[in-house]
Structure 1
C-alpha cells in the first residue's frame, strides 16, 4: 500500500496580477506533497523530524509547545531563508534523496487560475478547490496503478464544515469515476484529514508545497523573484516527481510536467522567455483575455 501526504500550494483566491491592489497572491492553486510505501512511512517521518529538530533547535526549544512547533513551507522557502541559510537547501534535498531511497516520490497537481475577479471569471475558491482535488485524486490513483498498489491519502486539516463538504463531494467523484476507470478502485477512502501540528509527515508535505509554490510562481510570473529554484534545487532533485505531476495551463500550452517545474523558463517561439505564453506573446495574450472574460469559460 502507498500513502500520499498532501497540502495546498499557491492560493485559492482570485489572481489578477502581481501588482494588483488586492488579488496579487499566486496564479496557481493545487495540491502537493509526496507518496511513499506505507511500510516506509514511519521511518521517513522520523527522519524528517530529526532533520527539523536539528535545523531549528533554538526555535523549538524556545517554543511554548515544542512538540507541536512547525516551520511552514512558505517560511522555509522564502528567498531570505534560502539565500542566507544554505543548510536548508542541503537538508531538503537530503530528505528528498531519503524519500527516493525508500521508494517514494514528490507529487504536485495545480491549475493555473483564470486572471480576474470572481465576478469576471465566475470561478470561486470552492470551484478551484474541488477541481484541483478531483484531479489530484485521479493522478494519485493512476500512480498507484502503475505501482500495483492501493493508496490512502492524508491531508492537512480544514475547518470541520469544509472537511465534511469535501469528503461528500470526493466520495461522489470516486464512485462515479470508478465506473469508467479501474484505477479509482485503488483508493481506500477519500482523503483523510490530520492536523499538521501533530504529524511530521504532513509537515514535510507542506515543505514540498512551499517549493512547488515558488517554482510555479517562477514559471508563470515574468518578474518572479524565485529564480533560485532552478539554481539551487533542479540539479539536486530533478527526477524526484511522479510522472503524473502537472500544472495545467489555461488557453495556451505546454502544460508543466513533473521536474519541468524546477527548470529554467521554457524555450518559447525560439527564444528564452520568462513567464507564461499568454502573458508574453501579444496575440496569445489577446486570445487569453478573451477566453478569461467569456461567461462560458470553464476550468
Structure 2
C-alpha cells in the first residue's frame, strides 16, 4: 500500500493581481505533499522528527507541549529564514534524499484561479477546494494503479463540519467516477491534526516550498526567486509523472518544471481595464475547465 500525505498550497481566496490591496496573495490553489510505501512511512517520520529536533531544539524544549511542537512551513520557507539559516536548506534536501531512498515521491496538483472577486468569478472557496481535491485524488489513484498498489490519503485536519461535507462529496466522486484506477483508493482522505503527525508536518513544509516556487513562476517580480535557485537541482526527478499545475494563461507546468529558473509568468489577455481582463480571464478559465471535464490531462 502507498500512503500520500497532503496539505494545501497557494491560497484559497480570490486573486486579481499581485499588489492588490485585498486580492493579491497567490494565483494558485492546490494540494501537495509526498507518497511513500506504507512499510517506509514510519522510518521517514522518524527521520523528520530527528531533523526537526536538531534544527529547533531550543524552541521544542521551551514549549509547554514539546511532543506537539511544530514549525509551520510558511515560517520554515520564509525569505528571512532561508537567508539567515542555511542549515534549513541542507536539512530539507537531506529529507528529500531520504524520501527518494525509501521509494517515495513528491506530488502536487494546483489550479490557476479565475481572476476577480467572488462576485466576478462565481467560484467560492468550497468549489475551488472540491475541484482541486477531486483532480488530486484522480491523479494519485492513477499513480497507484501504475504502481499496482492500493492507496490511502492522509490530510491536515479541517473543521468538523467542513470535513463531513467534504468527505461525503469525495466518497460520491470516488464511487461514481467510471475509471478502474479509482478502485485503488481504500477510503476518502482521512484528516489528522498536524501537531500529532510528522508526515503531515513534512507535507506542510513541501506545500510551503511549492507555494513559493509557483508564486515565482506566475507573478512578475516575485520575491521568491530563491526557491528555484536553491532547490532546482535537488527537485529533479522527485515528482510523480502526475504532478501538474493546470493553467489557463498558458501551457501547464509538469513535474519539476515548477522549479525552473525562467519563470512562466501569467500575462494579461489583451484587455486594458481590470474589469475587461476579469471577463476575458473567466471565459478562458471556464473553457479550460470544460476541456478538463471531457478528460484532458
Sort the TM-score into its range (normalised by shorter chain): over 0.9
For residues 158-197 of structure 1, what are the structure 2 equivalents within 5 Å? 158-177=158-177, 179=178, 181-197=179-195
Match in the other structure for 1:108: 108
For residues 190-269 of structure 1, what are the structure 2 equivalents within 5 Å? 190-250=188-248, 252-266=249-263
Q: Secondary structure at the match of 1:17?
A: coil
Q: CA deviation at 1:284?
A: 11
CA-atom RMSD, angstroms?
2.0
- Structure 2 distance, partners of 1:142, 1:283, is 39
- Structure 2 distance, partners of 1:191, 1:95, is 24
Match in the other structure for 1:31: 31
- Structure 2 distance, partners of 1:247, 1:221, is 14
Q: CA deviation at 1:283?
A: 7.4
TM-score of the pair, normalised by structure 2: 0.92
Match in the other structure for 2:265: 275
Contact map agreement 2:4 2:33 (CA 8 A) in 1? yes
For residues 16-95 of structure 1, what are the structure 2 equivalents within 5 Å? 16-95=16-95
For residues 74-153 of structure 1, what are the structure 2 equivalents within 5 Å? 74-153=74-153
- Structure 1 distance, partners of 2:52, 2:184, is 33
- Structure 2 distance, partners of 1:55, 1:288, is 46
Q: Secondary structure at the match of 1:106?
A: strand
- Structure 1 distance, partners of 2:252, 2:286, is 18
Q: CA deviation at 1:282?
A: 4.0
Q: CA deviation at 1:63?
A: 1.1
Output one character per residue of 1:150-202: Cα deviation in whole Å (capped at 9) or x when no partner: 0000000000001001100000000111x2x1000000001000000100110
- Structure 1 distance, partners of 2:233, 2:194, is 29
Q: Secondary structure at the match of 1:260?
A: helix
Q: Secondary structure at the match of 1:297?
A: helix
Number of positions where the alignment pairs a residue of Structure 1 with one of Structure 2: 287
Deviation >3 Å, runs of 4+: 281-290, 293-299
Q: CA deviation at 1:295?
A: 11
Change (3 A) 1:241 1:295: closer
Change (3 A) 1:141 1:55: same
Q: CA deviation at 1:265?
A: 2.4
TM-score of the pair, normalised by structure 1: 0.92
Name the stretch that deviates more: 42-51 or 13-22: 13-22
Q: Secondary structure at the match of 2:48?
A: helix
Change (3 A) 1:224 1:296: closer
- Structure 2 distance, partners of 1:232, 1:296, is 32
Contact map agreement 2:114 2:285 (CA 8 A) in 1? no
Output one character per residue of 1:91-123: Cα deviation in whole Å (capped at 9) or x when no partner: 001100000000000111000001110000111
- Structure 1 distance, partners of 2:64, 2:122, is 44
